Structure 1
């Protein structure tokens, strides 16, 4: 589903004003976020109104700390996921000094009432807004009663084992090599997006040519070997096996690099912005005593990845477009 992306509430087109507004960072669009969005979509459908998401760029935590954070979903992927969930438009509100200084009352007036013309607002239980996070879900609900829009507060979502579903929990699981947990909390396979760049082409000489991608330096993904699904910009999917690491047998230096060997593919991918969905963590990064044992292990990795990917099933509705059908236009 096509989704409109704008960076200020006041720029929302007139025909989308008066809708149901879901507010949050939505980094990861994980199962907890999906609960908020499902409630919002149900309300919008019943009332025949558009569903709008209000989120913030950069992430407020990155703005206040001055440091980049590991984004589970860059803005473009987040927008595509929101579109798949029935969101008509996402306002990626610029989070700067002026915006951070808004009082809670000014936030409500300028963003929700004047900017979006909200008829209803849906937030998570921990939503805070306005200068020094002074606004709370309860104060938002009180303001809504005064200004004529409904407010619903969604309680936290937990996994089957009672674990709280949150972006920070998912980031930690990815760092701890627990890809299964991270994917389960997301409801789809964790996906990274980057441009394919030319490397040293060592894989080609070993019989395993790879598509090389540099991930952001703040990436917390565990080093190691993964069974993956690789998606080109046109949406075409390939199974493969990927290494994220520093190539200890060959170089063991520099920033970690994501190197994906695509099964049953030959061609030039240089310069393409592509996506890699991580299905299974196979093993940690190892240093081998020469190239022959490295190649032997790569063959075993390929066999294991082919077996895993040959029998995978979607984890949920979002996993279909992400990992099985291919989202279109992620590079835009």
Structure 2
């Protein structure tokens, strides 16, 4: 989406819990429905169709999503690598210009609803929508009995429109999908991931204290614990890091620190030309380029030498990146806004 709306809602004030009544101003909306993990270019085509319909009719545009990811309920022993946790998803939906993100808790009660009950209780009863927009492969209700054709027929009975968006393909013709993006990130292929997403992948979290080893080595770091399901390739990355709305350049290591303890994965980001206490601050790290795999060196001195090389390479890469896509720029306008709330 190259031409994004100039007015973008604040994600912190435009995220709503489906279990609570929606503000009256959002009733009668056109609603995009889906999990939207990644809010990638295929999802963006669904959201754009919703926004176009809503603006043409002077109505609100909403996205309805489900948390946690349905696979968390159905296959808890195989956690899914989440591309966009709820806060990130809210920022993306806001950056794309929709008026709000409605979050439905995906639990056994929701999973047990029949397709008819989902339409009557959720779409009509709670959302009061006038139109639904879905992807071509969207299914819903107990046993996935609700198909696009089923929803279209239900819309005719209940008086709301249904738009079904065709698969969105990228170069080469293969449809854009969350699974393709996960595979790209697992391989450290950030260019592939960004091409499919339409923006540079990012993570958010709180900066925590570490063992201060980076400071002792001459490379103090801001440390973050990512979700246990994160399967980003371990290694060294050129990154940007935003804290309290201020963006800085840096180099980050994501991994287990094989030189020292080979422990639990930690994201350690060294901010260029910065000194100060960042503990407890909220940060966003955007991954720009994969530099090398994590490795154990012959000595700590050899590691330090490589860290200097990594920093120089990261600076060189970051000096040429520009401001990114239109969505990257829209996201930058919402950095530091704060966590979403209902």
**Same topology, TM > 0.5:** yes
- Which among 256, 265, 276 is matched to residue 285 of structure 2? 276
1:2 equivalent to 2:10? Answer: yes
- Which among 196, 204, 210 is matched to residue 193 of structure 1? 204
- Which among 106, 110, 116 is matched to residue 99 of structure 1? 110
Partner of 2:300: 291
Q: TM-score, normalised by structure 2?
A: 0.93
Structure 1 vs Structure 2 CA RMSD: 1.4
Partner of 1:241: 251
CA contact (8 A) 2:29 2:130 kept: yes
1:36 equivalent to 2:46? Answer: yes
Unpaired runs of at least 5, structure 2: 1-8
CA contact (8 A) 1:188 1:314 kept: no
1:118 equivalent to 2:129? Answer: yes
1:328 equivalent to 2:336? Answer: yes
CA contact (8 A) 2:205 2:225 kept: yes
Shift of 1:66: 2.0
Distance in 1 between residues matched to 2:253 and 2:155, nearest whole Å: 50
1:154 equivalent to 2:162? Answer: no
Distance in 2 between residues matched to 1:331 and 1:242, nearest whole Å: 23
Partner of 2:25: 15
- Which among 212, 221, 225 is matched to residue 210 of structure 1? 221
CA contact (8 A) 1:242 1:259 kept: yes
Unpaired runs of at least 5, structure 1: none
CA contact (8 A) 2:91 2:334 kept: no
Shift of 1:328: 2.7
The C-alpha deviation readout for 1:104-140, integer Å capped at 9, x for no partner, is 1111111111211111110001100111110001110
Runs of 4+, deviation exceeding 4 Å: none
Matched residue SS, 2:223 = strand
Q: TM-score, normalised by structure 1?
A: 0.96
Partner of 2:71: 61
The C-alpha deviation readout for 1:188-231, integer Å capped at 9, x for no partner, is 11101121111111111111000111111211100000000001
- Which among 73, 88, 93 is matched to residue 82 of structure 1? 93
Distance in 1 between residues matched to 2:323 and 2:151, nearest whole Å: 37
The C-alpha deviation readout for 1:30-53, integer Å capped at 9, x for no partner, is 111111111111111100000011
